[in-house]
Amino acid sequence: MKFLTQIILIMVISALLQIYLPFWSTALVAFVISVLFQSKSGVSFMAGFLSISLLWFGMAYFIDVDTSSILTVKIAKLFSVSSLLLIILTALIGGLVGGFGALSGSQFVHLFRKKERNLYK
């Protein structure tokens, strides 16, 4: 549940911020949400990755359908890939930015968290 909330929050806030800010704002959003949720590194990365890749996939897919693939096919040809692969590539790039943003956030939290079990060994 927490994982899902994390994903949805990153998606929604990124979508809103992207109206004003460039693509790297998604890394910032993922970072901040990751700090707030204090999840483990792997979980944070997955949350960041999935949220932005889903968001970008959804948006690209919507534009593709809405415009009857008018430009998708041309750019796909430019990259020598299929239209679907172009949308997936888009999602992957977004996912990496979101994922590493979130991972950094989680590492940031770790800086201030004491390592309880080992402390008095």
Partner 1 sequence: MLIYHQELSRFILMKIIKFSISVVITLALIYFLNNRLVIQGNPVPPLGKFLDPFHGFWQNAESDSIPFAPLSELTTLKDSVNVFYDKYGIPHIFAQNDHDLFMAQGFVVAQNRLWQMDFQSYAAAGRISELIGEAALDFDRLQRRKGMVSGARTSLETMLKNTQLKLFLEAYQTGVNTFISSLKYKNLPLEYKILDYEPEPWTPLKSALLLQYMNDNLTGWDRDLQNTNAYLTLGEERFKALFPQWPAGIDPVVQSPEQWSFEAAPKEKPDSLIVSNTMMKKVHPMPDPDNGSNNWAVAGWKTKSGKAILASDMHLGLNAPSLWFLMQLSSPNYNVMGFALTGNVGIVSGFNENIAWSFTDVSRDERDWYSIKFKEGSRSEYFYGDKTLPVETSYEEIKIRDSTPYTDTILTTVHGPIVYDDSFLSDGQKDYLALKWIGHTPSRVQDALIDLNRASNYNEYTEALRKWDAPSQHVAFASDQADVAIRVQGLLPNRFKGHGRFIMDGSDPAFDWGEFIPFEHYAFEHNPPRGFISSANQHSVDQKYPYEMNLHNSEFYRNRRINNQLNAFDSSSITPQDMMKLQNDAYGIKPSEILPVFLDSIDKSKNSEFMTALKEWDYFYTVPSKAPTYFEVWWRSFRNLLWDEFIDSELPMGRPSDYHTIWMLKNDFPKEFYDHQGTSQVESFKELLSMSLDSAKTKIQTWEDKKGLEATWGNYKGTSIIHLSRIPAFGTYNIQVDGQSKTINSTKPNHGPSQRLVVEMTSPPQAWVVLPGGQSGNPGNPLYENMIPLWRDGEYIKLNFMQNETSENEIFFKQTLTK
Binding site for partner 1 (CB under 8 A): 15, 18-19, 22-24, 27, 56, 59-60, 63-64, 66-68, 70-75, 77-78, 89-90, 93-94, 96-97, 100-101, 103-104, 107-108, 110-111, 115, 118, 121
| Rounded-to-integer distance, Cα 24 and Cα 14, Å | 10
Q: Between residues 6 and 53, which has the closer beta carbon with respect to partner 1?
A: 53
**Pick 1 or 49: Cβ nearer partner 1:** 49
Please state the three-class secondary structure of the chain as a single string. CHHHHHHHHHHHHHHHHCCCCCCCHHHHHHHHHHHHHCCCHHHHHHHHHHHHHHHHHHHHHHHHHHCCCCCHHHHHHHCCCCHHHHHHHHHHHHHHHHHHHHHHHHHHHHHHCCCHHHCCC
Question: Which residue lies nearer to partner 1 by CB, 1 or 76?
Answer: 76
State the nearest-atom distance from the C-beta of 101 to partner 1, in Å: 6
Give the residue with the Cβ less far from partner 1, 33 or 103: 103
Nearest distance from C-beta of residue 4 to partner 1, angstroms:
23
Residues in the chain: 121
What's the closest the beta carbon of residue 3 comes to partner 1, in angstroms?
19
